[in-house]
Amino acid sequence: MTTAPVTTARLTVTPLTGTLGALISGVDTAVTPDAETVGELRRALLRHKVVFLRDQGLDYDSQAALARTFGELTLGHPIYAAPENRPEVREIDSRQGTRANHWHTDLTFVDRPPAIAFLHNKIAPEYGGDTMWADTVAAYEALPEPLRALADRLRVVHSNDSDYTDATVAARREYVSTLFETEHPAVHVHPETGERALLLGGFARRAAGLAPQASRDVLRLLQEYVTIPEHTVRWRWRPGDLAIWDNRATQHYAVFDYGTRDRRAERCTVTGTVPVGVDGRPSTVLSGDTTAYSDGRS
């Protein structure tokens, strides 16, 4: 992939690595973009998997309006209540003990994980607090053939009662008061690009049909291909930054190296579809009902 900037009719796209990530300039997302600009943004997102825009003056209404140009929105979160009169936002605030320093794809314990996420930074610490993204398509393509054949057939149970929860959630009892579990294919077919991507991360609880030790070993082995440095990009936040990522083709990790300093952002997410494996089998719900979350009904 070229790393030279590409200028289109509406914007400039500058790749940040040879694998994923791009800086986009030439668009003010506080004004809801027209269809042509949205089309260019979407093409850049599908190619680079996570894109960044500096100095975006978004409030709740304009952020939700921008996200809605990409599809219907979810509620802010399937477990946590949204702020009053802002049902489609998830506040990510270090003062509330919120952090996400564990590799994950967002909310894979539901049957329709978000397709696309829009995270607008409000407060960034003077140092630390970067976020890293990893390319799950490149990870799948890097698998040796015997391991790829195993992954193609593997099914994985994702749960809110998981390693991610143990590592990052302060109020754990609240988070797991209702159990949500969904069995996903370990490899799903991206509904827009047709690419195959690993569907793993911190909510992945166990591999279906394997004994506990074998399950841990297989999931660890596959996950290692996701997070090798060549498959990642790291972003240093400034207030006003907007990150848009394809949740169907990435994992991310918010680095918790800023101590007690403030870090705050707001996220909106576009409703996803039920993942489908390479064998055509869709994901299946094992426990819990998140229909209201995916349908954006408070």
What CATH number has the domain bearing residue 42? 3.60.130.10
**pLDDT tens per residue across span 168-179:** 888 888 899 999
Is 173 marked active-site? no
User: Could you tell me the residue range of the domain that residue 168 belongs to?
Assistant: 6-294
Please indicate whether residue 102 is annotated as part of the active site.
no
| 152 assigned to some structural domain | yes
Looking at 48, 231, 263, 267, which residue is catalytic?
267
Selecting among 102, 106, 112, 231, the annotated active-site residue is 106
Of the candidates 99, 112, 205, 252, the residue annotated as catalytic is: 252
Number of domains composing the chain: 1
Judge whether 77 counts as a catalytic residue. Answer: no
pLDDT of residue 174: 86
In a domain, 1, yes or no: no
Whether 84 is in a domain gets the answer yes
Given the residues 104, 120, 148, 248, the one annotated as active site? 104
At residue 158, the pLDDT reads 98
In this prediction, residue 9 carries a pLDDT of: 63
Is residue 104 among the annotated active site residues? yes
Taking only the tens place, the pLDDT of each residue in 112-149 is: 999 999 999 999 999 999 999 999 999 999 999 999 99
The pLDDT value recorded for residue 169 is 86
What pLDDT is recorded for position 171? Answer: 83
The answer to whether residue 219 sits within a structural domain is yes
- pLDDT of 7: 57
Q: Is the predicted pLDDT of residue 224 greater than 60, yes or no?
A: yes
Per-residue pLDDT band at 4 (split at 50, 70, 90) = low
In a domain, 238, yes or no: yes
Dump pLDDT digits (tens) for 230-241: 999 999 999 999
- pTM, to two decimals: 0.95
10 Cβ contact list (under 8 Å, min separation 6): 26, 27, 33, 36, 37, 40
Does the pLDDT of residue 277 top 80, yes or no? Answer: yes
Task: Fill in the amino acid letter for 101.
Answer: N
Per-position DSSP letters for 224-268, written without gaps between them: HHHSSGGGEEEE---TT-EEEEETTSEEEEE---STTS--EEEEE
Model confidence at 8, pLDDT cuts 50, 70, 90, reads low
